[in-house]
Amino acid sequence: MTLKIAFLFAAFAGALGVALGAFGAHGLRGSIEPRLMETFQTAVQYQMIHALALLLLVLTTKLLGESLSFEISVYAFIAGIILFSGSLYGLVLTEMRWLGPVTPLGGLCFIVGWLALFVGGYQKIA
């Protein structure tokens, strides 16, 4: 079940990342200040990187077998995309400043995801 969730979320996050990247490039450019445009681009970049990481994690899990570490990595990457990129999109589009403190939590999720992937790889690769 986790692999299916990871795969579907990654595919959706990738498609949404492309759409939001295009929206930022064509719909927002010139209408928001450059600092906010840079923040929006950061959100898109991290979303796309971690959507691809999720897809690779699905393949890695299929190749090496399931593990708790890989499962933690899946959920941490999903949470990271939602919290990190989602809070930055919200901050740029709504200017709700309370979203600012959510962003580091998403970044922490990304770090946990990569460290869990490290542990899983260490355990599975002989």
Model confidence pLDDT, tens digit, residues 48-106:
999 999 999 999 999 999 999 999 999 999 999 999 999 999 999 998 889 999 999 99
Q: Tokens at residue 20, please?
A: 């939001």
What is the reported pLDDT for 1? Answer: 64
User: What spatial distance separates the first Cα and last Cα of the chain, rounded to whole Å?
Assistant: 26
SS3 letters across 54-116: HHHHHHHHHHHCCCHHHHHHHHHHHHHHHHHHHHHHHHHHHCCHHHCCHHHHHHHHHHHHHHH
Q: Is 87 within 8 Å of 99 (Cβ atoms)?
A: yes
Region 13-42: what's the mean pLDDT?
A: 94
What is the reported pLDDT for 126? Answer: 77
Sequence-distant contacts of 30-36: CB under 8 A, at least 24 apart: 32/92, 36/92
What is the reported pLDDT for 29? Answer: 83
Percent of the chain with pLDDT over 70: 99
Amino acid of residue 68 = L
Percent of the chain with pLDDT over 90: 92
CB atoms within 10 A of CB 88: 24
Amino acid of residue 25 = A
In the chain, where the domains are located: 2-25+34-124
What is the reported pLDDT for 86? Answer: 97
> What is the chain's mean pLDDT, rounded?
95
Q: What global pTM score does this model have?
A: 0.95
What is the reported pLDDT for 64? Answer: 96
